[in-house]
Amino acid sequence: MKFSDIFKSSFLENVAAVSLFDMILTIVLAFGIGVFIFLVYKKTYRGVMYSSSFGVTLIALTMITSQVILAVTSNVVLSLGMVGALSIVRFRTAIKEPLDIAFLFWSIAAGIILASGMIPLAVVGSVIIGLILLFFVNRKNYKVPYIFVLSCTNSEAENEAVKYLNRKVDRCSIKSKSVQAGLIELNMEILLKKDNTDFINAISSMNGVNSAMLVSYNGDYMG
């Protein structure tokens, strides 16, 4: 038995399992779709801190998934081994935005469909998904809530500030209230009528008001 006979049944036979044209075409299309997903993600991102590395990850994930599926579809034995190898992989990175999960699955699905040979489905489907996300995410048909933090010295100043605030905003609801000797602090969720926030200056200048602060709020963070 020669040295080459050891790999004859497995390694050397798999070299030509996927043609060079299929490799290049799959990688180029995966890169194009990955860039499209990245651009849609960049346009629809509504978080606090944009992560460029996550956008690059979407491109890489599409290309990597397409290569894995291309190898799996060319060899049944390899597909079984690949399932076992990938089953030990664990991802522990926290996803801060729920929409990021959709983009991750989109990248993986696009890579799988593309490497499976269904190129029209991968391209047309990605375009339709991207247009739908651009339409619904960028459509602002709701008012952004804010948290108003009021610090005052007595109940008279509190009542005056709250009455003035109710006249200037669409909605005002108390979330928490803490009282100490000579100090009252209120946390209220409000909806602005307009983008004008001059009422904060007026409230902070009232007698008995120590400070007035307005922060944006989406249910998960303040900043």
> Average of pLDDT values for 147-160?
89
Residue pLDDT, tens place only, 44-69: 887 666 778 888 889 999 998 888 88
Percent of the chain predicted with pLDDT > 90: 19
Phi, psi of 150 (to 5 degrees): -115, 130
Q: Is 66:26 a contact under the CB 8 Å cutoff?
A: yes
Q: Of 201, 174, 204, nearest to 190 (Cα)?
A: 174
Q: How far is CA 26 from CA 65, 71, 75, 128, in A?
A: 11, 11, 17, 20
204: closest CA among 146, 145, 152?
152
pTM of the model: 0.62
The residue among 137, 159, 138, 142 whose CA lies nearest residue 150 is 159
Compute how many other C-beta atoms are within 10 angstroms of the C-beta atom of residue 24: 10
* pLDDT score of 6: 47
Rg (CA), the chain: 28
Select the highest-mean-pLDDT range: 3-7, 22-26, 90-94, 137-141: 22-26
Residues 6+ apart with CB under 8 A from 223: 48, 215, 216
Rounded mean pLDDT of 63-79?
75
Mean pLDDT of 73-102: 64
pLDDT band at 77 (very low <50, low <70, confident <90, very high): low
List, in order of start, the domains of the chain with CATH numbers.
3-137 (no CATH), 145-216 (3.30.70.260)
Bridge partners (DSSP) of residue 212 are 150
Task: State the number of CA atoms in the 13 A half-sphere of 28 facing the CB.
Answer: 6
Degrees (nearest 5) of the Cα angle 162, 198, 167?
A: 35
